[in-house]
């Protein structure tokens, strides 16, 4: 907060509220004051929130009318300007809060846009979070191994997705972390091919990309396999992507720039003539969100200096960060390959959170 220039902060991002307070209901916000954290939720969650606040480390306010009326009251109750999360508050809510504060005599400057204050804290996971992510990684690996064993020609993509999601539930996941991707045959060329009613055939490449939320934390895994005997081209592309993934994982270590990790994968694919076929970044952070910092991708020149109130997130890795490494190659009309694992950056390199054999084919 000091780096963003504020002494108070209105937190409106649900995962940021969860990280600060432990509250994981669907609706809440929080205000960080110099001497306390205030959790704001509504009557539906009174019981759960009261239990969380019982040890006195946190204050609790239940919404009477609307969330934003309560938030405006809390902001108005303090003298110092309040930071807002510019990335997690709409222009409309900001305008609305400003109008209510102005009606109460608080002028321009009562609200200060900030960026990435809480996200900076979430970047490096603590021991408790790492243990959850390890357990989630073990569990999703078991689901993947089972799903790969059950895969066969004649099944529809949708049925495979349903079986994967049922497997996640049985394994203790609260829900899928995103729409499950099952993309077979030519559809494997779609980096985001949600499961369709296509029936898979012998010889198809099949991309399975699925994620789960376990105890609030997200993991994400992809395997691509051929159903039956692979063609030489499938073996070549699959091998190149697997090698690119290994190179990126080998590059993981504290102090390494995320763009270097991305470049490690990209260089391998370029060597195999597949540079233009890798159309997305190499990976992303995992935690309370399935896509969070750090982004593992090419360095991007910013079009202007960071805006005031921004906490600039580091572009180098640190021990305790958790990322996916998921290079891919996509050839329209033919198919594609993506291989993804989840890794914890450690003091000396990286620890695999997911452990699933990388197989070229199943039958």
Q: What is the DSSP string of 301-313?
A: --SSPPPTTB-PP
Strand order in the sheet with 82-85: 59-62, 36-41, 29-33, 9-11, 82-85, 111-114
Is the CB of 205 or the CB of 226 nearer to a copy of itself? 205
Residue 228 C-beta: closest distance to a copy of itself, Å: 26
Q: Quickly count: other Cβ atoms within 10 Å of residue 131's Cβ.
A: 13
Sign of CA pseudo-dihedral 28, 32, 33, 39: positive
The footprint of a copy of itself (CB under 8 A) covers 25-26, 43-44, 47, 65-66, 69, 84, 86-92, 94-96, 99-100, 103, 113, 115, 158, 161-162, 165-166, 169, 174-175, 179, 190-192, 194, 279-280, 300, 303-304, 307, 332
Q: Report the run of H or E that residue 69 belongs to, with start and end.
A: helix 67-76
Nearer to a copy of itself, 25 or 349 (CB): 25
100 or 145: CB nearest a copy of itself: 100
Q: Which is nearer to a copy of itself, 28 or 343 (CB)?
A: 28
Q: How far is the CB of 272 from a copy of itself (least distance, A)?
A: 20
> Cis omega (within 30 of 0) on the bond before 232?
no
Give min distance, CB of 332 to a copy of itself, in A: 7
The helix (run of H) or strand (run of E) holding residue 206 is: strand 205-214
Q: Which is nearer to a copy of itself, 159 or 243 (CB)?
A: 159
Minimum CB separation from a copy of itself for residue 329, in Å?
A: 14
- Residue number with CB closer to a copy of itself (49 or 226): 49
Q: Furthest-apart CA pair in the chain: how many Å?
A: 74
Decide if 41 contacts 49 (C-beta within 8 A): yes
Tell me whether residue 14 or residue 247 sits nearer to a copy of itself (CB atom).
14
Alpha-carbon distance of 318 to 341, in angstroms, equals 18
Query: With 0-12 CB in 10 A as exposed, 13-18 as middle and 19+ as buried, what is 140?
Result: buried
Closest distance to a copy of itself from the beta carbon of 346 (Å)? 32
Minimum CB separation of residue 279 from a copy of itself in Å reads 6
Decide if 201 contacts 347 (C-beta within 8 A): no
Nearest-angstrom CA–CA distance, 352 and 138: 10
Angle at 25 between CA 23 and CA 26, to 5 degrees: 135
Residue 127 Cβ vs a copy of itself, minimum distance, rounded to whole Å = 26
* Cβ distance to a copy of itself smaller for residue 36 or 44: 44
CA–CA dist 33, 36 (Å, integer): 5
Q: Which residues share a beta bridge with 296?
A: 283
Q: Report the nearest approach of a copy of itself to the CB of residue 10 (Å).
A: 12
Q: Say if CB 218 and CB 286 are below 8 A apart.
A: yes
């Amino acid at each position: 907060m000091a780096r963003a220039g504020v002494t108070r902060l209105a937190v409106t991002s649900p995962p940021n509220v969860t990280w600060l307070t432990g509250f994981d209901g669907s609706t809440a916000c929080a205000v960080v004051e110099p001497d306390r954290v205030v959790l704001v939720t509504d009557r539906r969650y009174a019981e759960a929130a009261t239990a969380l606040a019982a040890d006195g480390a946190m204050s609790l306010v239940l919404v009477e009318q609307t969330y934003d009326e309560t938030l405006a009251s809390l902001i108005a109750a303090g003298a110092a300007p309040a930071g807002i999360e510019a990335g997690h508050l709409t222009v409309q809510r900001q305008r609305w809060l400003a109008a209510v504060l102005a009606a109460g005599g608080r002028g321009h400057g009562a609200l200060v846009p900030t960026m990435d204050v809480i996200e900076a804290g979430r970047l490096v996971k603590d021991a408790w979070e790492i243990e959850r992510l390890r357990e989630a990684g073990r569990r999703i690996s078991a689901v993947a191994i089972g799903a790969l064993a059950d895969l066969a020609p004649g099944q529809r993509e949708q049925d495979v997705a349903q079986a994967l999601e049922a497997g996640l539930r049985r394994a203790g996941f609260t829900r899928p972390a995103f729409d499950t991707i099952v993309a077979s045959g030519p559809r494997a060329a779609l980096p985001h091919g949600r499961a369709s009613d296509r029936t898979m055939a012998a010889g198809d490449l099949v991309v399975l990309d699925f994620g789960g939320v376990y105890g609030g934390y997200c993991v994400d895994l992809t395997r691509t396999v051929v159903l039956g005997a692979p063609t030489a081209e499938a073996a070549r592309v699959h091998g190149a992507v697997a090698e690119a993934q290994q190179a990126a994982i080998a590059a993981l270590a504290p102090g390494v720039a995320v763009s270097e990790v991305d470049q490690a994968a990209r260089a391998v694919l370029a060597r195999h003539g597949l540079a233009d076929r890798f159309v997305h970044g190499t990976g992303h952070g995992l935690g309370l969100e399935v896509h969070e910092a750090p982004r593992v991708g090419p360095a991007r020149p910013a079009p202007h200096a960071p805006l005031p109130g921004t906490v600039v997130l580091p572009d180098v890795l640190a021990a305790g960060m958790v990322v996916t490494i998921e290079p891919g190659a996509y050839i329209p009309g033919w198919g594609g390959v993506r291989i993804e694992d989840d890794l914890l950056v450690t003091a000396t390199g990286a620890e695999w959170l997911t452990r699933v054999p990388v197989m070229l084919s199943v039958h």
